[in-house]
């Protein structure tokens, strides 16, 4: 392409390091924030003020920060649920459904063992919390296994199956918590029942213990892919299914494994938000919002290039932006949807900037045409 | 065509240089082709042939240097410019539309076909062209019905009908059975009488170069190392220039003690990917210390056979026995563990993983080995030591075992795959097109390794379309055609012409 006296050339890069990717991502975020600045201007708000409000509420405010963290943890579990299958070359779009399944699993345990409302459960709290987590994991795994088996045995498109299961699970939750459903709360306002005091897990350093679980999982998953046999087999399958098959790796085993693992991780996301976050301890009326949030896990997973450690800052950023965006919208009386606009622009720009992972642009003086 | 005289320089390249990151693919290359001449370009993989060919056809622009067509300086921005000036290209992987007729394929992309298509007149003109070169071609046949050699002729006529006066041919004989090769060579020799200039690019079929070309330009590491008159060259001299050292063409097969039967195949039939019958009722056995060669042009069921034996494809019917025990139901993993090694034809897509390092590629045959993992963790140190040792033993040219396999040349990658499979000391080795696309030096190496494995007592099932290779290596030879063995012939009584005819599907009696 020519631009005045200069010629612009694209050159394919042979590869990129983690640091280059990080720098490119940061530049992309700054550029996106610059663009969204125009939306603020158009609304008559100084962009600097807008961003100051967003970030100070999201990351410094004593009320805002816990909200950010809770969302970030939810997102982080969802990104793991996306990352594990994507390393095998398979797309998990079903984090929302798997998270719902996790929540249902946990609350089913609570209901069965009498941890509903003001009842006194038959088991000590610690044991019950353990069982609820187990229930969440099993719920997520069961729902994850379906696309896994369909993919492995019949090569059914996993994007379609995981996506469709999301709808099924959404309405299953609705059935369970609404009027007449087994998980219905006492008020009958379309909410789930509240957990008994004793099964509300204790906070650890003023944050839900699931935060620390998610960070530990990031490290574990990183090691899984870098060092272990099963991690190697997943990566081999993801890089080249034909070569993996040649090397004796079973496609059925890998497909099932990554989707069951993905379901498990998303199930933990459901447990985290509905059973471990202070002030909630129930499946709320607006549970669908969390399903929407789960989709940001895809973006975190894609931008981090499947690296579970790199998705930590991304989950924090997106958690903070959804949270701060909503706050600033109220405080500065901006039009509806500024938080979504902000997220949308950040994501599109981040994805678009991935171009620079693969190409570099060279500017040189054009030769004279003869 | 009338204004070109015999011996006129029709296409010339002067000082062509093309750099890619980390390598100079073409380094000040001079080349010229005269009307009525066959001027072969010879070089190993990575010598810069593909780059030069792409530059001459306008697919790639050189960084430096000039191209002259018919004495005038030209600047090819795209292949269209080259075609308009009379340069035609015959690709190695045929770029024809299988479901269309021969005539439709020939007309596709022709400037006349864009506006008003007079099929009848065009058909007559093409038929005239075929008649002129004495090559009968059914213009209304669908391309997928044609044999490989005929498809190639369709491409040639396509270029000629567009007015090509220079024909660039990429590995023209690589997919052809011996009788088809001869037919093709005859046809292009006829064409030179009309002052056509022909530039075949060739990697390793030296006898063909000697049989038909007038001049040879040899490339090595991006530079022209020799320009020879074919009359004054021999196979040895061409190979020496290409590789940069002497190459021994005679392989020492030697005697190997033929042991007991290690693989037994009974009435095996299988489908291909499209669900068509690829293999029909094949029975044979392979002994320890024996190379059993299956000779055939690709696409006659060899792929399905290799995959069934490796456990990657389900058989339709029949049995496979290894070491006298039935293995038909075993997975590929179980077969690796039993000592069956498979070297696939698709080095890049099946035999290796491009974005994995060489160590990780080595693990493709070791991740399931208990000696290489503990508590589910891979023993990276051990894998690295093994990789380094094998790289040294097999002479894989690489800066480090941490580079990606994608960056290895075809020959080096094949050495790596061979090293990986052989290091498991398999008792049976299934090897499909082991030297396909390899240069003379690497071919010699791979063939010697196969003979070594035979000597150490492994049974080897060699699948190849290179008849010379089959004849040089095999103890018994089975020509395969349309999924059936035409015969099984001991090496002592193998006659080259007979096997060539059987590969092409000619009946045994007719060929004898």
Domains and CATH numbers, chain B: 9-243 (3.40.50.300), 261-352+426-511 (3.40.50.300)
Confidence of residue B248 (pLDDT cuts 50, 70, 90): low
- Kindly provide the ipTM of the predicted complex, given to two decimals: 0.83
Mean pLDDT of the residues in chain B: 87
Q: Mark yes or no for CB contact A228/B377 under 8 Å.
A: yes
Measured between alpha carbons, how far is B320 from A274 in angstroms, rounded to an integer?
56
Name the token pair of A299.
Answer: 């973006």
B336 contacts chain A (CB < 8 A): yes
Mean pLDDT of the residues in chain A: 89
* Closest in A14, A228, A246 to B312, CB measured: A246
pLDDT at position A1: 61
Confidence of residue B512 (pLDDT cuts 50, 70, 90): very low
Name the token pair of A243.
Answer: 């070569």
Arithmetic mean of pLDDT, A105-128: 85
A16 contacts chain B (CB < 8 A): no
Confidence of residue A370 (pLDDT cuts 50, 70, 90): very low
Arithmetic mean of pLDDT, B285-308: 92
Whether pLDDT at A109 is above 90: yes
Which residues numbered 229-258 in A keep a CB inside 8 Å of some CB on B? 229-230, 232-233, 235-236, 239-240, 242-250
Q: Mark yes or no for CB contact A243/B364 under 8 Å.
A: yes
Q: Mark yes or no for CB contact B376/A248 under 8 Å.
A: no
Lowest mean pLDDT, pick from A82-96, B70-84, B421-435: B70-84
Percent share of chain B, pLDDT over 70: 95
Whether pLDDT at A165 is above 60: yes
Domain ranges for chain A:
1-45+336-370, 62-333
Q: Mark yes or no for CB contact B346/A242 under 8 Å.
A: yes
Whether pLDDT at B90 is above 90: no
Confidence of residue B252 (pLDDT cuts 50, 70, 90): confident
Lowest mean pLDDT, pick from A235-249, B187-201, B387-401: B187-201
Q: Mark yes or no for CB contact A248/B360 under 8 Å.
A: no
pLDDT at position B282: 95
Nearest CA in chain B to A12: B21
Nearest CA in chain A to B380: A227
Pairing of strands B223-229, B215-220: antiparallel
Q: Show residues of chain B in contact with A11, CB under 8 Å.
A: 21
pLDDT at position A77: 97
Nearest CA in chain A to B357: A236
A2 contacts chain B (CB < 8 A): no
For residue B374, give the 3-state DSSP assignment: strand
Q: Mark yes or no for CB contact B350/A239 under 8 Å.
A: no
Distance spanning both ends of chain A, measured CA to CA: 17
* Closest in A227, A230, A246 to B332, CB measured: A246
Confidence of residue B200 (pLDDT cuts 50, 70, 90): confident
Which has the closest alpha carbon to B506: B296, B286, B256?
A: B296
Q: pLDDT tens digits, residue range B98-138?
A: 889 888 888 887 877 666 677 888 888 888 888 888 888 88
Name the token pair of A42.
Answer: 């158009």
pLDDT at position A311: 93
* Closest in B333, B365, B378 to A228, CB measured: B378
Residues near A282 by beta carbon (within 8 Å), at least 6 away in sequence: A185, A191, A192, A193, A194, A195, A274
Selected from 1.10.10, 3.40.50, 1.10.3470, 1.10.1660, the CATH number assigned to the domain covering A62-333 reads 1.10.3470
Q: Where are the alpha helices (DSSP H) in B137-290?
A: 148-161, 178-192, 206-212, 235-243
Distance spanning both ends of chain B, measured CA to CA: 44
Arithmetic mean of pLDDT, B172-180: 78
| Chosen from A241, A243, A251 to mutate, greatest number of chain B CBs within 10 A | A243
Which has the closest alpha carbon to B109: B75, B83, B128, B142?
A: B83
Distance from CA of B183 to the nearest CA of A (A): 37
Measured between alpha carbons, how far is B389 from B393 in angstroms, rounded to an integer?
6
Q: Show residues of chain B in contact with A242, CB under 8 Å.
A: 346, 349-350
* Report field, pTM of the whole predicted structure over 0.90: no
B21 contacts chain A (CB < 8 A): yes
Distance from CA of A246 to the nearest CA of B (A): 6
Arithmetic mean of pLDDT, A154-181: 92
């Amino acid at each position: 392409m020519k631009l005045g006296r200069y010629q612009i050339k694209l050159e394919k890069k042979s590869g990129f390091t983690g640091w280059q990717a990080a720098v490119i991502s940061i530049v992309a975020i700054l550029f996106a924030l610059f663009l969204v600045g125009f939306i603020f201007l158009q609304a008559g708000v100084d962009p600097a003020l807008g961003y100051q409000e967003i970030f100070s509420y999201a990351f410094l405010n004593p009320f805002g920060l816990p909200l950010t963290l809770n969302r970030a943890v939810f997102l982080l579990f969802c990104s793991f649920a996306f990352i594990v299958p994507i390393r095998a070359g398979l797309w998990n779009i079903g984090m929302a459904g798997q998270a719902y399944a996790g929540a249902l699993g946990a609350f089913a345990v609570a209901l069965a063992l009498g941890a509903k409302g003001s009842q006194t459960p038959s088991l000590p709290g610690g044991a019950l919390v353990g069982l609820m987590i187990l229930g969440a994991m099993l719920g997520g795994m069961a729902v994850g296994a379906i696309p896994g088996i369909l993919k492995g045995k019949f090569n059914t498109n996993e994007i379609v199956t995981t996506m469709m299961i999301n709808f099924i699970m959404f309405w299953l939750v609705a059935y369970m918590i609404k009027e007449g459903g087994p998980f219905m709360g006492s008020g009958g306002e379309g909410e789930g029942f509240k957990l008994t005091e004793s099964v509300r897990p204790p906070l650890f350093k003023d944050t839900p213990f699931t935060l620390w679980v998610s960070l530990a999982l990031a490290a574990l998953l990183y090691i899984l892919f870098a060092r272990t046999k099963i991690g190697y087999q997943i990566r081999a399958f993801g890089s080249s299914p034909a070569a993996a098959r040649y090397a004796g790796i079973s496609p059925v085993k890998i497909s099932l494994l990554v989707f069951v693992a993905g379901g498990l991780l998303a199930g933990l996301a459901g447990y985290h938000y509905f059973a471990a976050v202070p002030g909630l301890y129930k499946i709320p009326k607006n549970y669908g919002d969390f399903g929407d949030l789960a989709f940001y896990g895809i973006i975190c997973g894609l931008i981090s290039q499947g690296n579970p450690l790199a998705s930590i800052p991304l989950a924090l950023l997106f958690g903070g932006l959804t949270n701060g965006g909503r706050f600033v919208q109220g405080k500065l009386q901006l039009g509806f949807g500024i938080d979504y606009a902000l997220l949308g622009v950040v994501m599109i720009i981040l994805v678009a900037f991935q171009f620079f992972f693969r190409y570099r642009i060279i500017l040189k003086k054009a030769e004279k045409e003869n | 065509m009338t204004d070109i005289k015999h011996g006129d320089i029709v296409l010339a390249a002067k000082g062509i240089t093309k750099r890619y990151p980390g390598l100079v693919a073409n380094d000040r290359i001079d080349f010229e082709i005269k009307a009525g001449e066959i001027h072969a370009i010879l070089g190993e993989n990575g010598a810069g042939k593909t780059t030069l060919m792409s530059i001459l056809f306008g697919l790639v622009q050189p960084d430096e240097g000039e191209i002259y067509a018919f004495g005038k300086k030209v600047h090819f921005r795209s292949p269209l410019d080259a075609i308009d000036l009379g340069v035609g290209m015959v690709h190695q992987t045929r770029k024809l539309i299988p479901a269309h007729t021969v005539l439709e394929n020939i007309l596709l992309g022709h400037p006349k076909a864009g506006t008003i298509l007079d099929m009848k007149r065009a058909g007559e003109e093409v038929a005239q062209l075929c008649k002129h070169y004495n090559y009968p071609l059914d213009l209304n046949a669908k391309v997928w019905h044609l044999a490989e050699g005929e498809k190639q002729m369709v491409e040639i006529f396509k270029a000629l009908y567009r007015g090509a006066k220079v024909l660039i041919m990429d590995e023209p004989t690589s997919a052809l059975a011996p009788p088809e090769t001869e037919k093709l060579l005859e046809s292009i020799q006829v064409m030179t009488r009309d002052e056509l200039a022909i530039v075949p690019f060739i990697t390793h079929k030296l006898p063909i170069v000697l049989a038909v070309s007038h001049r040879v330009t040899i490339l090595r590491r991006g530079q022209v190392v020799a320009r020879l008159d074919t009359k004054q060259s021999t196979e040895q001299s061409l190979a020496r220039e290409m590789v940069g050292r002497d190459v021994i063409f005679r392989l020492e097969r030697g005697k190997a003690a033929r042991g007991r039967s290690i693989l037994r195949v009974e009435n095996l039939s299988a489908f291909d990917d499209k669900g068509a019958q690829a293999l029909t009722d094949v029975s044979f056995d392979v002994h320890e210390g024996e190379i059993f060669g299956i000779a055939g042009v690709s696409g006659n069921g060899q792929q399905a056979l290799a995959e069934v034996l490796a456990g990657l494809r389900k058989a339709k019917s029949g049995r496979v026995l290894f070491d006298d025990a039935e293995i038909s139901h075993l997975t590929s993993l179980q077969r690796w563990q039993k000592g069956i090694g498979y070297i696939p034809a698709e080095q890049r897509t099946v035999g290796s993983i491009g974005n994995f390092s060489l160590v990780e590629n080595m693990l493709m045959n070791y991740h399931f080995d208990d000696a290489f993992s503990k508590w589910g963790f891979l023993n990276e140190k051990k894998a690295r030591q093994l990789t380094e040792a094998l790289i040294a033993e097999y002479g894989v040219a690489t800066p480090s075992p941490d580079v990606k396999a994608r960056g290895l040349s075809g020959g080096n990658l094949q050495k790596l795959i061979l090293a990986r499979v052989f290091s498991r000391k398999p008792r049976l080795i299934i090897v499909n097109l082991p030297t396909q696309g390899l240069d003379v030096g690497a071919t010699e190496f791979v063939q010697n390794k196969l003979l070594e494995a035979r000597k150490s007592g492994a049974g080897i099932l060699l699948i190849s379309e290179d008849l010379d290779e089959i004849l040089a290596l095999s103890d018994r030879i089975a020509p395969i055609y349309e999924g059936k063995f035409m015969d099984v012939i001991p090496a002592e009584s193998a006659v080259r012409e007979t096997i060539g005819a059987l590969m092409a599907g000619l009946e045994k009696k007719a060929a004898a």
